[in-house]
Amino acid sequence: MSVDPRRLAVFDLDGTLTRSDTLLPYIGRFLARRPARLLRLLRILPPALCRYALGRADRGDLKAALIAGALGGSTGAQIEAHTARFVPRLLRSGLFAAARDTLAGHAARGDVLALMSASPDLYVPAIARALGFTEVDCTRLRWDDGRLTGALASPNCRGLEKARRLQGLRQRYPGLSVAAYGNSASDLAHLRLADRGVLVNGAGRARRLAAQLGVHCEAWR
């Protein structure tokens, strides 16, 4: 009996594997234990929102301001402890059943599993380890003398940047076909490069663009 060749299976995180965004709940639960940090956040975030609204900042700048305001100055031990509480809770109830099934199917085939997310390296690698991913690529953050600054240490892993990183994965795994899963219009930049790109639970505009690009659409629950 012939055996299907292995693939490189690339999954987005927020809205693809998970039912919703992960960064805001991560920050919200951190602040719930440290409400005094809300004042710092309220000083830093509104100016960044204004710059974003005026086109003077991008999503990466806004993400950096949010993280700096809410988490900036935290030690590695504080972040690790929070991540250790957050990730198991997320995995218990925050994933689509269809996402788990699809991931398990690729694992059973012996495919190389890669998690690629715009979310930060505060918790994405921990999620990847828990779910059995071989590769993980996400937005990296800066630390200064053991404390988180909130500034980005890499480009925001979104849109064209995610497409660039997918090309890097292809180079590390030559000869493997690529199946890629994402949920937003910005994910189409890398889904269109895959041998089989799948848009999961996409909005109307994203589905229309996906049809034009030859990207499949699926509903995951």
pLDDT tens-digit readout, 16-50: 999 999 999 999 999 999 999 999 999 999 999 99
Closest CA to 147 of 76, 79, 80: 76
User: What CATH number has the domain bearing residue 86?
Assistant: 3.40.50.1000
The verdict on residue 125 lying in a domain is: yes
Q: What is the DSSP string of the chain?
A: ---PPPEEEEE--TTTTBSS-SHHHHHHHHHHH-TTHHHHHHHHHHHHHHHHHTTSS-HHHHHHHHHHHHHTT-BHHHHHHHHHHHHHHHHHHSB-HHHHHHHHHHHHHTPEEEEEEEEETTTHHHHHHHHT-SEEEEE-EEEETTEEEEEESS--SSTHHHHHHHHHHHHHSTT-EEEEEE-SGGGHHHHTTSSEEEEES--HHHHHHHHHHT-EEE---
pLDDT at position 221 over 90: yes
Is 2 among the domain residues? no
- Is 191 a member of any domain? yes
Is 194 within 8 Å of 166 (Cβ atoms)? yes
Q: What is the mean pLDDT of residues 57-70?
A: 97
Query: So what's the pLDDT on residue 1?
Result: 40
- Tokens describing residue 62: 């806004």
Please say if the pLDDT value at position 2 is more than 70.
no
| Closest-CA residue to 27 (of 82, 92, 107, 98) | 82
CA separation for the pair 129, 149 (Å, rounded): 25
Model confidence band, residue 4 (pLDDT cutoffs 50, 70, 90): low
Residue 22 lies in a domain: yes
**Is 188 a member of any domain?**
yes
Identity at 117, one-letter amino acid code: S
pLDDT in tens, 91-126: 999 999 999 999 999 999 999 999 999 999 999 999
- If you average pLDDT over residues 73-79, what whole number do you get? 98
Average pLDDT over residues 127-147: 98
The residue to which tokens 């990296």 are assigned: 140
- For 17-46, give one letter per residue: b (16+ CB within 10 A) or e: bbbeebbeebbeebbeeeeebeebbeebbe
Report the pLDDT averaged over residues 159-178.
97
Residue 50 lies in a domain: yes
Q: What is the pLDDT of residue 5?
A: 75
Q: Which domain holds residue 99?
A: 7-218
Q: Is residue 126, in this structure, part of any structural domain at all?
A: yes
Kindly state the average pLDDT of the residues 64-81: 98
52 within a domain of the structure (yes/no): yes
* Domains held by the chain: number: 1
